[in-house]
Each structure stands twice: as structure tokens, then as C-alpha cells.
Structure 1
Amino acid sequence: MNGDWLIRGRDGRLSVYLPSDDAVLCRAERRPGDTWEDARRVGGDQRLHPGTAATGKGADGYAHLVAWRPTGKSESGLVHSTHFRPRLAALDWLPIGHPNKKGDRTGPPALAVDAVGRAHVFVRNRGGGVSMSAQKEKGGWEPWTDLKGREVEEELAAVTGESGLVELYAAVPDGLVHWRQEEAGAPPVLEEALEAPVRPGTLRALATSAEATTLFYTDRAGDICAWRPGAKPAVLLPSAGPGPVSAIRCELDGHDCTLLAQRSASGRVAFAAYPTGDESAGAWWTESGPGLPSDAVVALAMDETERVVAATSSPSTGQLLLTRRKDEPGLALEAWREV
């Protein structure tokens, strides 16, 4: 899943959205902090392509999902669903078309939700640039817009800033590119390109102030870097493992901190925190939990009491593990448990 697959819903319950062979599955807490329900299919019985879904959450707490589905021989189209509350069924998948009108999949989609709850879907197009479609304010979808760009790598990172404006980051062979909305409802504009040795598949974006978002990525030397457009990237710390980080802002001992989590090379989950926006303060990894399979991914969220929650999911084993921050100073975590 591209995006936040561990989400706190409008009713305070946590949900996870996990890809299966031909569907997206949802599991949710029965009540906040309680046991978990069995997995349910999202969006009805439509068959999806495996591993091509993205998730996002609006300020209203609604979860949005987008995925590719087969529409014919060597033909595919993107579909969207909204999940208003974990205890309710998600809406059926509705088609939003293809960035090139027709053809097969062009890359994994990315999704961000603006301040008024409109989903913005981004995907690489056949020309190697990026195309976008957004929900209309009164229902339906805008026509696909070509945002330009060239030689864009498949995985995109979409994010909504504290301003409510949507931004997008992408890796290209020689660096990074950044798009940002100039005003609500407008297509994002290609604003800046950065020459940087980026390892593809490692992008993660986070809103980190009223003015800026931060992109985390791993460079080819194996270091995690933080980049805010308009400034130079900062090397934060060596990567704990090969995949992307999960990132969240939280309060630790009265300080606004950015918390990163990543499956480490040892197989355990590694955590690192530092004052938000102050990469020069440094950060270091602390490992937690059991060893995990190589395909395990990590996600972070805040629960109904504003405690940090971390989850891991392994497609090969189907195992879902969860931990919460203890009610004590620092980042002490409860024992990991299977749900």
C-alpha cells in the first residue's frame, strides 16, 4: 500500500488496509483500544490488480482508497472508494478512468485529501510524467490533468500540508521533483527540482509546519535525508534497512517531534525521533519487537488518546502486530502483540 495504511477513523477506532491477491482488506478495532474484527473486503466484489493500491486520510477522518482494476485484455482503470467509519462498509469502487484514457497500468497511484475532503489521485502516465484527477466539490471527478515531468520513477509521495494544499514528490534518475498547489482546487504546479542521488522506492512525505512539508528519502550511500523545498537536503542518520520509513509528528515529553520507523536489516522495527524541523539535532535508531519477514512493512498513527501506535504487516505470513507507547516519559513501548 502506498500511503498511510494504519488510520484512526472518525470514531476513534484504528483500521488497517492491506492488499490481497485481488482486493484490499480492512481490519478494525471493535472499540478504541479493544480487540480487532476479522478482515473484510473493501469496495464490494470487484477484482483488483494485486499490490497497486494507495490510501489517504482527510481532516474529517474519512479514509480514501484508490487502486487499479482490470477492465479488459491488457486494459486497466483506476477506481476509488471512501470509508467513512470503520464499523460501516466502505463505498463500492467507482471508476475514475485512466491517465492516458486507455491502456494498462502505468504505475502505482498516490493519494492525498485536501482541506475540504476532496481526494487527489496521482499516477505516472505513459509519457513518463505525472497525471492527476481530483474529486469535484459536488461529486464526480475532474478530467485527468497532465502535470508534466519526465522519467518519473513509479512510486510517488503525495501529502497535504497544514495549509490544506496538496503537494507531490517524485524521484527521477538524477534527483527529485516537487509539485504544489498554488490555491485550493487548482492543479499542483511543478515548482522545484533537486539534483540528489535518490534510491527509488524510499520516498515518504510529511507535513512538518504551517509553511512546509518534508520529504524523507534514502540516498545511494544509504543515508536517510530530509528535504524541504527551498532549502538543501539534510542527512539525518544511516538507514536502518532497505525500505521507506514511516513518519509521524507527535509530542514526546512536551516537545513537537518527528518519529520515524523502519524495518531494520536485523528484521526488527527501528525507531528514531528528533525535534520537528531540526535535523541538525540528530537522531539515532532504537530497535523493538521480534524479527520480521523481509516483506514486512511498518506504519505509524495516533490512537484516540493521542498515543503513538505502530503496526507491522507481512503479506507472506498474514501476521499483523501492534504496539502502543506507554504512559511514561520517553518512547517506551508496550510489548508487541498479534491482532
Structure 2
Amino acid sequence: MNGDWLLRGRDGRLSVYQLSGDAVLCRAERGPRGPWSAPRRVGGEQRLHTVLAVGQGADGYAHLVSWRPTVKGESGLVHSTHFRPHLAALDWHPVGHPDKKGDRTGTPAVAVDAQGRAHVFVRNKGGGISMLAQKEKGGWDPWRDLKGKEVQDGLAAVTGESGRVELYAAVPQGLLYWRQEEPGTQPVLQEALKAPVRPGTLRALATSPERTTVFYTSTSGDLCAWRPGGEPVTLLPAAGPGPVSAVRCDLDGHDCTLLVQRTASRRVAFAAYPTELESAGAWWTESGPELPLDALVSLTTDEEDRVVAATLSPSTGRLLLTRRKDEPGLALEAWREV
């Protein structure tokens, strides 16, 4: 899955999205702090490939994108909107293919601008990036070629505090960065960073009114942070494989960035530091039980702006949850299965 699959909806309820065979399932809180509903199929009976991208707008609506099989050897992208976690999502709607037709070209990424318009990014057959954007009053604009080459899978799409959409992509030489110069316009390739980036480890976060930060693992195994216009900073050794999940939160009156990652020993590790002050240092603290090999981790905040972390195993469907306690520091409640 690409993006944060643990979300806080417009009504304050938490929800999770998971892949299960040829379907996407959703579970949601029935009320604040639970109990949780049983998993429900999202978007009707459409058969899907085992891929999902999730994005969320400031309005709290979740936008889901997946690939579906069409004819033999070919696939197309589909989109669904989920307005409330405890209600049914819209049916999957076909939105086409970056090359008009063909097989899957990569894992999509989704970001939602300040007007609630979803922007879908995906590699095309030429190795560049194509984008599809919703119109404000319904429908979709044509596919747009954003250029780039040798783009690797695992895009990181993000919406800045300005409401403009941005995209990061790994290439063999480092990172590429696109940004909308004005709301509703086509993102433009702004900058290329030469750095040793491990594909599939990108995660982006809005960290100030004008800047976003992308986190990635270097080929030497270090977790790094980069803001366009500056130089990358090494934070600490990566705790394990895959991208981190990241969230901004208030810790004892300080604006902090909290990172979570599944460790090599299959537990969950947390690290926090003052937002955009990587020089302050960070260190991992492990938490929770040993997890299955395929377990994913994600972060959000609840309706009380309290940090919530979740782990999900696609093979077992087992969902574990913890919240920050109402006390100083980053003390967490015991992990519980829901």
C-alpha cells in the first residue's frame, strides 16, 4: 500500500484500509476510541489487483486508487471516494491508463489539494510520471505527462500547508521533486537531488507553511530527511525495511515530527524530534509485540489530537492499536487487538 492507511475521518472516527485478495477492506470505529466494525468491502464487487494508494484531503475524505484487470494482459486504474468511515464508499470508477492502455506500470500515489481534488500519480511505460487530476466540479482532466525518466516504484505524494500538491520520486541517481506553482496547475519538475536512495522507502510530510520534508533510506541504511532547496540530513540508522510513517504532533508544548517504522526484529520503533530541527537528534524506542513478517505500521492523531499508531498484517488481518497516554513524554498505552 502507498500512503497512510490509518486515517482520522471528518467525524473524528479512525479507520483502516487493507488489501484482501482481489478487494480492499475497511474497518472503522463505531464511536470515539471504539469499538470497531468488522471489515467491509470497499467500492462494490469490482475485482482489483493487490495494490492500493490512499490520500486524504483537509475535508477528511479518503481517496483510494487501485489497478483493476481489464482484458488479458491489460489493466486500468480505478478511484473511489470514502466520505465517512462508517458509511459505504463510492463504487470504483475507472479513470484510465497513463499510456491509454497496457498492463500495470507502477504503484500509484494520491494527494488531495485544498479544494478537495484528488491528484493521481503513476509511472508510465517510458519511465516518467503521469498525473490525473479531478476537476473541482466533477470529472477528471486529461492525463498529463510530468516528464522524468528512470523513475522507480514507490512515489511519495504530499499536499503542503499551502494546499498545493507535491511529488517525490526515486531515480537511480537520487530524487526528483515536482511542485504546483499555483493551485490547480500542473506540477512542475523543480529540483533533482543527487543522493544514494533506496527505492521503496520514500514518505513525505508537510512540515511548515511553505515546505515539505521527504524521508528516505540511503543505500547505506541511514534514514535521511530532505527539504528541497537544502541538503539532505542523516537522522539515524533506519530501524528496518520499507518507508517510515510520519505525523506532526504536539509533545509537551513542542511541534514535533514523530516517525514510526517496523524494525528488523519485527517490532515497532518510534523516534521524535522538533519539526525541521533534525540537528537536535533522534533515537528509536521499540514498542509492542513481535509482528508477522508482512506487518505494516502507520500513524495518525485522533479527535483529541492524541497520537495513535497501528500495525496491520495483510496475511492474517490482525490489527493492533496503541494511543499516547495523557501524561508527559511519549508514553503509550498497551497495544491491543481490535
Q: Report what 2:7 is aligned to.
A: 7
Q: Which digits, 9 at most, give the CA deviation of each residue in 1:174-228, with x for residues without a partner?
A: 1000000010111100000001000111000000000100000000111000000
Query: 1:150 is matched by which residue type in structure 2?
Result: K
Instruction: Report which stretch shifted further, 315-324 or 191-200.
Output: 315-324
Partner residue, 1:22: 22
Is residue 230 from structure 1 mapped to residue 225 from structure 2 by the alignment? no
Which secondary structure state, in structure 2, belongs to the residue aligned with residue 292 of structure 1?
coil
Alignment map for 1:132-151 (pairs within 5 Å): 132-151=131-150
SS in 2 for 1:225: strand
Distance 2:142 2:32 in 1: 39
| Long gaps (5+) in structure 1 | none
Q: Which residue of structure 2 aligns with residue 76 of structure 1?
A: 75
CA RMSD of aligned residues (A): 0.6
Q: Distance in 2 between matches of 1:141 and 1:159?
A: 19
Tell me which amino acid in the other structure corresponds to 1:184: P
**Percent of pairs identical after alignment?**
78
Paired residues for 1:30-45 under 5 Å: 30-45=30-45
Where does residue 301 of structure 2 map in the other structure?
A: 302
- Residue 13 of structure 1 aligns with an amino acid whose one-letter code is R
TM-score (norm 2): 0.99
For the residues of structure 2 that align with 1:14 and 1:165, how far apart are their CA atoms? 25
- Paired with 2:36 and 2:300, the residues of 1 have a C-alpha distance of 16
- The one-letter code sitting in structure 1 at the alignment partner of 2:179 is R
Q: What is the rounded CA distance, in whole Å, between the counterparts of 1:267 and 1:200 in structure 2?
A: 20
Task: Tell me how far 1:36 sits from its aligned partner.
Answer: 0.5
How far, CA to CA, are the matches of 1:305 and 1:211 in structure 2?
A: 26
- CA deviation string 1:2-22 (max 9, x = no partner): 001000001110000001110
Structure 1 counterpart of 2:283: 284
| 2:112 is equivalent to residue 113 of structure 1 | yes
Take 2:162 and 2:228, find their aligned partners in 1: how far apart are those partners? 15
Are residue 56 (structure 1) and residue 47 (structure 2) matched?
Answer: no
Q: In the alignment, does 2:156 pair up with 1:160?
A: no
2:103 partner amino acid = D
In structure 1, what is the Cα distance between the partners aligned to 2:274 and 2:304?
21
Tell me how far apart the structure 2 counterparts of residues 303 and 22 of structure 1 sit (CA, whole Å): 30
Q: How does 1:261-280 map to 2 (within 5 A)?
A: 261-280=260-279
Q: Could you report, residue by residue, the CA deviation over 1:234-269 in whole angstroms, capped at 9, with x for unpaired residues?
A: 000011111110000000000000000000111110
Residue of structure 2 in register with 1:209 after alignment: 208
Q: Deviations over 1:148-176 (max 9, x none)?
A: 00000011000000000000000001100
Say which SS state the counterpart of residue 208 (structure 2) adopts.
coil
Deviations 1:279-317 (A, max 9, x none): 000000000000111211100000011100000001122
User: 2-side partners of 1:85 and 1:92: how far apart?
Assistant: 14
1:3 counterpart SS class: coil
- Residue type of the partner of 1:214? T
- 2:86 and 2:174 mapped to 1: Cα distance? 42
Q: CA deviation at 1:56?
A: 0.7
* Distance in 2 between residues matched to 1:11 and 1:180, nearest whole Å: 30
Instruction: Please give the alpha-carbon distance, in whole angstroms, between the structure 2 residues aligned to 1:313 and 1:197.
Output: 30
Once the two structures are superposed, the pairs formed by residues 215-254 of structure 1 within 5 Å of their partners are 215-254=214-253
CA–CA distance in structure 2, aligned partners of residues 319 and 244 of structure 1? 20
SS of the residue corresponding to residue 312 of structure 1 reads strand
Deviation at residue 57 of structure 1 after TM alignment: 0.6
Dislocated runs of 4+, deviation >3 Å: none
**Residues in 1 aligned to 2:82 and 2:155: alpha-carbon distance in whole angstroms:** 22
Aligned-partner residue type, residue 44 of structure 2 = G
1:28-67 CA deviation, whole Å, 9 max, x = no partner? 00111121000001100000011x1100110001111000
Count how many residue pairs are aligned between Structure 1 and Structure 2.
Answer: 338
Counterpart code for 2:300: A
Query: Within 2, Cα distance between the matches of 1:265 and 1:137?
Result: 44
Counterpart CA distance in 2 for 1:24 and 1:112 is: 19
Q: Does the residue aligned with 1:280 lie in a helix, a strand or coil? A: helix
- Partner of 1:207, secondary structure, is strand
C-alpha separation between the residues in 2 aligned to 1:253 and 1:56?
Answer: 29
Q: Secondary structure at the match of 1:10?
A: coil
